[in-house]
Chain A
Amino acid sequence: AQSVTQLGSHVSVSEGALVLLRCNYSSSVPPYLFWYVQYPNQGLQLLLKYTSAATLVKGINGFEAEFKKSETSFHLTKPSAHMSDAAEYFCAVGSYGKLTFGQGTILTVHP
């Protein structure tokens, strides 16, 4: 069975500050890991995904995530937050065509 834990249901940062959203996973097989972003009343948009080709994955909008097998983590970062980054972020683990999602982290960006 697979599971995902996102630490912190709400994260608040100032504009220009580092964004760090935490994700830990549990998987019995080598995982495929994903980060999605959701703006209010919209669907989910793929930010990036880990495919085992490289442990540091770059995504859209300046986000990146690092896969650390020893820590079973796949944290999402962005060096400098922008007001437009305010949204809800979901980490997910995939296996055989199905995704298991974390509970989501709402990111608030203050001017």
Chain B
Amino acid sequence: DGGITQSPKYLFRKEGQNVTLSCEQNLNHDAMYWYRQDPGQGLRLIYYSQIVNDFQKGDIAEGYSVSREKKESFPLTVTSAQKHPTAFYLCASSTWGLTSGSEGDTQYFGPGTRLTVL
């Protein structure tokens, strides 16, 4: 089955600690995205990548870093500079770059990782 996997499902971080969230897809999609979800605020874009070895900052990139060394993988590191409390992190992918219009804009989501700051 094709899809997007995120691990771990639950993650705990102490203040001052860096942690990395994993996102893998086997959909052969070129574009991948990271969102943070806070109650009552919808989803906000952290970083996105439309091709291997290239990525762009989203609306709330401060305190986060990413890499895109392989098409299938787009890990997100939450650094010690990130002061935000507990949040739900979602990874997504799309065919943008291979297709355009509504098909290219359609994003498919993983199951999410809940990060708790201790």
Contacts and interface: CB of A to CB of B under 8 A. Distances in A.
Interface of A: 9, 32, 34, 36, 41-46, 49-52, 90, 94-99, 101-104
A35 to B, nearest CB: 12
B102 A41 contact: no
A34 B106 contact: yes
A97 B112 contact: no
Interface residues of B, number: 31
Contacts of A44: 43, 90, 92, 109
B42 interface: yes
Interface of B: 4, 6, 31, 33, 40-45, 48, 50, 88, 90, 92, 94, 96-97, 101-112, 114
Contact of B94 (A52, A97, A103): A97
A101 B36 CA distance: 12
Nearest to B50: A97
B104 A97 contact: yes
Chain B binding surface, main DSSP class: strand
Q: Which of A51, A52, A95 has the most CB of B within 10 A?
A: A51
Contact of B102 (A36, A50, A101): A50
B43 A101 contact: yes
Nearest to A4: B42
Given A32-B102, A42-B112, A99 B107 contact: yes
A90 B42 contact: yes
Contacts of B92: 44
A50 B103 CA distance: 10
A96 B56 CA distance: 13
